Structure 1
């Protein structure tokens, strides 16, 4: 399949919400327990873009099939060169290198903007996501055991880091 990657806009909120809400409803990948309405997703996209951070979507034809973005790692001033990164793909777009392509463009944008470190949190176990992050050059720097409770059980989260 051929994909295009471009900057996201609030007009992408509905397909982004649809991709994300699948993970909210059916997996522990997201620790949210309620689906995110389209207007809330639009607000989240706007906030990230207003912060000057990259938010990208991947399209196949006219359909958004994946997205990635960066958010500030923490609010304290000394963290201003560090971000947390996230990537989500529609089921039909998985296993085709699209997550890698999205991350490569995201990391390039972050480097160009002067960021130093990117961190990605991965609910464990998730070998596919670990493989993607490590393919992108990220290394595990932390494991938070039993940090989130969803679907009646505890879940651990590992953090992978890339120095840009």
Structure 2
């Protein structure tokens, strides 16, 4: 089931996210986020943007949300999307289901452009974004440093209007 997030989901979502912080380079956070910091982030996002979860048997298996791309007001119609699936649940199309719902919700808002900002290489995430019509519009080389490696970032754009 896909539904809107509630604050009781915070710990399960944080567990999904922190796995990626500790074990992968798909996020540029270097240390696990605290529950309090994550709850504050959730509160900030849900004040104005969609934040959804995929739940099965009372377990959160993935989540997606959109938030501000940048703070300056001229960017208000441009949002950045995020999707994470629990590390042991890949291959079940959870990410696709979440993204389809997120994009559907964003089409009901004033959002004009959605950006996916991805660590590269990341074939699975690139394929997910391309499946939904995102086009690669930028490639930033060696802009992040994690696990003693310089990492690239791709910027993928989906125009909703």
Q: TM-score range by the shorter chain?
A: over 0.9
Which residue of 2 is the match for residue 23 of structure 1?
Answer: 20
Residues 19, 87 of structure 2: 8 Å contact kept:
no
**TM-score in terms of structure 2 length:** 0.97
Distance, in Å, in 2 between the alignment partners of 1:110 and 1:88 is 18
SS in 2 for 1:92: coil
Q: After the TM superposition, which residues 59-74 of structure 1 pair with which residues of structure 2 at under 5 Å, given as runs? A: 59-74=55-70
Distance, in Å, in 2 between the alignment partners of 1:38 and 1:61 is 23
Residues 13, 39 of structure 1: 8 Å contact kept:
no
Which residue of 2 is the match for residue 119 of structure 1?
Answer: 115
**TM-score in terms of structure 1 length:** 0.95
Distance, in Å, in 1 between the alignment partners of 2:7 and 2:30 is 23
Which residue of 1 is the match for residue 104 of structure 2?
Answer: 108
How far does residue 114 in structure 1 lie from its aligned partner after superposition?
A: 1.8
Which consecutive residues of structure 1, in runs of 5 or more, have no partner in the other structure? none
Tell me whether 93-102 or 20-29 shows the greater mean CA deviation.
Answer: 93-102
Residues 31, 148 of structure 1: 8 Å contact kept:
yes
How far does residue 23 in structure 1 lie from its aligned partner after superposition?
A: 0.4
Q: How many residues align?
A: 160
How far does residue 96 in structure 1 lie from its aligned partner after superposition?
A: 1.5
Q: After the TM superposition, which residues 42-61 of structure 1 pair with which residues of structure 2 at under 5 Å, given as runs? A: 42-50=39-47, 52-61=48-57
How far does residue 41 in structure 1 lie from its aligned partner after superposition?
A: 1.1
Which residue of 1 is the match for residue 133 of structure 2?
Answer: 137
Q: Which portions of structure 1, spanning 4 or more consecutive aligned residues, are displaced by more than 3 angstroms?
A: none
Residues 20, 27 of structure 2: 8 Å contact kept:
yes
Which residue of 2 is the match for residue 162 of structure 1?
Answer: 158
How far does residue 93 in structure 1 lie from its aligned partner after superposition?
A: 2.1
Which residue of 2 is the match for residue 8 of structure 1?
Answer: 5
